[in-house]
Amino acid sequence: MTMSNGSNGSTENKPFRIFVGYDPREDLAYQVCRHSITKRSSIPVSITPIVQSDLRKAGLYWRERNPLESTEFSFTRFLTPHLSNYQGWAMFVDCDFLYLADIKQLVDLIDDRYAIMCVQHDYTPKETTKMDGAVQTVYPRKNWSSMVLYNCGHPKNKALDPETVNTQTGAFLHRFQWLEDEEIGSVPFVWNFLEGHNCVVEGDPSTKPKAVHYTRGGPWFDAWKDCEFADLWLAEMDEYVKEKNKKEAGIAN
């Protein structure tokens, strides 16, 4: 697939832009997510954390925190097209993902007919809390917005300006109500494989996760250290920490 990197349809080979939701409580989760992407990617990628405090300083985010917001990126995620200057394609992903496959495989699914593309889950959580005690909310299209491929140059996505992101309701944003249903493309569930919900079917490789989403809480939280796929995340964390320590030792020398 050849992506257009601007409104004029140019096809320069630029790094694929990935914005990762960042919360100070989950710094390690962000670092491991980032590591899991870059380690496996066969294409150039540009990974940027969406840090709420930075957006506030830049005057792009001024919304008051709602008690039901479980992370600092509950709403800032929708600034992805704006942060991409409404050009080309970009991805937003929560920090509680672990990538197990080459991101190029996901990029190859991009279809310019759509304004956005995502995994269209039918998900109703059983738990009343998640992560470190945050309230678990239930709403239509839950988890659709946790990993989204944005066609940032699509005219409809111009609606996601800072004013809209700061003033519109959670329902409007998380249910993609600025779009018609046919403008939302579908991605296989294995790219947003919900730990504790989705299942691997023995003998069916099409159900094997390409990106695990620890949506209930990951092993960086004490309450979820024994969750499904915890071993994969912990192994990735160990690798990240070893590489980080080796790098820091090299700088010190």
d(CA 240, CA 245): 9
Its pTM stands at 0.88
Domains and CATH numbers, the chain: 16-247 (3.90.550.10)
**Structure confidence at residue 124 (pLDDT):** 61
**Structure confidence at residue 4 (pLDDT):** 46
**Structure confidence at residue 160 (pLDDT):** 98
d(CA 5, CA 3): 6
**Structure confidence at residue 121 (pLDDT):** 84
**Structure confidence at residue 142 (pLDDT):** 72
d(CA 52, CA 85): 18
- Is 210 within 8 Å of 218 (Cβ atoms)? no
d(CA 190, CA 45): 21
Any idea what the Cα angle at residue 19 is, between residues 15 and 23, rounded to 5°?
Answer: 150
**Structure confidence at residue 252 (pLDDT):** 66
Q: Which stretches of the chain score pLDDT less than 70?
A: 1-12, 123-140, 252-253
Nearest alpha carbon to residue 114 among 158, 161, 173, 179: 179
Name the DSSP letter for residue 220.
T
List, for residues 156-171, the tens digit of each pLDDT value: 999 999 999 999 999 9
